[in-house]
Amino acid sequence: MKHPIFYLTTALVLLLLAVSFLGGTVFWRLFSGYSDLDIDGRAEISRAANPQLSDQWPAYGGDPGGSRYSYANEITPENVDQLDIAWKYRTGTFNGREELKSRTAFEATPVLVEDTLVFCTPFNEVIAINPGDGTEKWRHDPDVRTDGRPANDFTCRGVTYWKDPSASGVRCESRLFTGTVDSRLIALDAKTGELCADFGANGEVQIEPSISLRWPGEYQITSAPTIIGNTVIIGSAISDNLRVVAPSGVVKAFDTRSGAEKWSFDPVPRDPNDPARVTWEDGSADRVGHANVWSTMSVDEERGLVFLPTSSASPDFYGGVRPGDNLYTNSVVALNGETGEVAWHFQTVHHDVWDYDVPAQPGAYTVWRDGKAHDVIAQVTKTGMVFVLERETGEPFLPIEERAVPQDGAEGERLSLTQPFPVNTPPIVPNTLSPDDAFGITLWDKSICAAKIKKLRREGLFTPPSEQGTLVYPFTGGGGNWGSAAYDAARNLLVVNMSNAGHVITLIPSEDVAGIREVADNAEIAPMEGAPYGMTRELLASPIGLPCTPPPWGVLAAVDLNSGDIVWRKTIGTTRDLAPLGIALKTGTPNFGGPMITKGGLIFIGATLDNYLRAFDLETGSELWKGRLPAGGQATPMSYEWQGRQYVVIAAGGHGKSTATAGDYVIAFAIPDR
């Protein structure tokens, strides 16, 4: 006779399988069809109209506009199931630093330049390897400080390539730029990895924050620098919710040859003559920081514009110290790349008190409408919404309207009465939750989740933080995040992955923060010094650690940027590396990292909390293949053709703030030689 635990476990597995199956039925497909279009013809016309696009992968987002699209097409839906590991490279970044594994995130996407794959490790080592076999060519170690608490763990998403058009046959005629966790901008010879001595002080520029830091790492650079002309531009990542008077998120631009500063732009308008100043009432622009650009910028070389995704001002969850809409925070801001002057701006969240930064690279794409090409910026957001703007002006390409949102915030708070919403495209993940929606694998944990939800303020998207406790849904990790989106111009298809989870945000009177800190278990606690409240933030989860929100917890979707329709939406991720015994339930998982598209008609993506790289059919969203990774693939893959063979490459190293397996791998997949 079997032990009773066997029967209980079996019942729970069957229940989860049933939930997983039923959850899968909520996805719908509205594919508008492209059988009457010459896809190859559109692709070539789009390519001709966008000189930024490349055969290979010379920029972090594939091209300066962030299309994450590869023209390599050897791998197709018909042969993708033949993919296998072509080579495997290990960085060795944890040698002598094993104790720091849980504080790192390997989020890098390599670039292919100078016949070499180049990427950075979480500790900002820049490594060059052979694209055909993964053997190391050179590496540069900037010896970053590891004694602090980096704002976003030890992270480096990418390096940026620049070739001097006026130089030939000289050292550093082509350069790689990278930022560091100790806020340096470094220039390296792209052929050798040696420092470019004529840039700054022997190849480095030290970026100084606006005020003194509380600890090393409170201010860092995590995303790849941006290049326009002979200008290199960087943002910053800054620890949230420590204080109101915080370091400012100034974006800085430097000459690519000398390292001399050319201009700077502060998304918080300090200048009394700036027209955005009126959106900061009571002179509050002089009393706050942040609004930093921690994610990736994009560029339109022809128009001379650089597009910034800005974040919220300090602190995240109480805005009584900064009344008004707070321009240019939480915005897409287009700047003149040569001068830093504002060309246009669009704010995705007014007076943010939910940590709804603009997290993704603004996509500089071409959309086909009535046989004509239109240049747009498509912005993916943490709220699960997608805004599509005219690239020249920032005006809506797809309609946007202001809608009334919940009011009655904390004492002293002055919320915006309305927020912007796309009209045509519904949110890709849910933003409302009732006790009846609570998820659980048994009646016990389901009832606990339902009770938790019932206690919260939960009036939908933009419910203000409260002492009662407020449901922030999607959670502050999105919706969308830094993985951004990928775009196929021939089909007008934007592909994006999003997470579906909720946070509980609770405001605490400032005098009680210290006491709460001593008794809290799993919640993050932040003082928000200078505000009347501190806060706690914790995942809305059951006692066994599963989200209380119903699955799918991870979604991959395609949006037609001409109409705004969601063409298809699919679950992404399983419980393979989360559940006991390796049970792989198709519930989806929260995900960090992004997709890429190939001309062969495929989407490749890692991102999920099970250790796989997956391939999906671009037109249907059907999962066609998955390749096992030795660690978490919380990075965006890239693809290229090398000596007649197509490779798909992903960094597999996990993410310290998730349950993904840590590692130091770069993995290349290809169809085996025949």
List, by residue number, the catalytic residues. 355
Calculate the alpha carbon distances from 476 to 66, 223, 449, 554, 620 in Å: 23, 19, 19, 15, 30
Q: Pairing mode, if any, of strands 154-155 and 104-105?
A: parallel
Question: How far apart, in whole angstroms, are the C-alpha atoms of residue 169 and residue 530?
Answer: 56
Residue 214 φ/ψ, nearest 5 degrees: -80, -30
Residue for token digits 């399983």? Answer: 574
Calculate the alpha carbon distances from 244 to 116, 288, 290, 334 in Å: 44, 5, 9, 27
Q: Do the beta carbons of residue 321 and residue 531 sit within 8 Å?
A: yes
Q: Is 426 helix (H, G, I), strand (E, B) or coil?
A: coil
Write the CB contacts of 297 (distance below 8 Å, at least 6 apart in sequence): 223, 226, 233, 235, 306, 307, 308, 309, 361, 362
Calculate the alpha carbon distances from 52 to 33, 62, 228, 602 in Å: 28, 9, 11, 21
Element (H, E) at 509: strand 503-509
Round the CA-based radius of gyration of the chain to a whole number and report it: 24
Question: How far apart, in whole angstroms, are the C-alpha atoms of residue 203 and residue 186?
Answer: 6
Write the CB contacts of 558 (distance below 8 Å, at least 6 apart in sequence): 493, 494, 495, 566, 567, 568, 569, 618, 621
Q: Do the beta carbons of residue 489 and residue 376 sit within 8 Å?
A: no
Question: How far apart, in whole angstroms, are the C-alpha atoms of residue 604 and residue 615?
Answer: 5
- Comparing C-alpha atoms, which of 252, 61, 294, 250 is closest to residue 155? 294
Residue for token digits 């996805």? Answer: 27
Cα angle, residue 33 at apex, residues 28 and 39 outer, rounded to 5°: 130
Q: Pairing mode, if any, of strands 69-70 and 595-598?
A: parallel
> Both tokens of residue 111?
């670039």
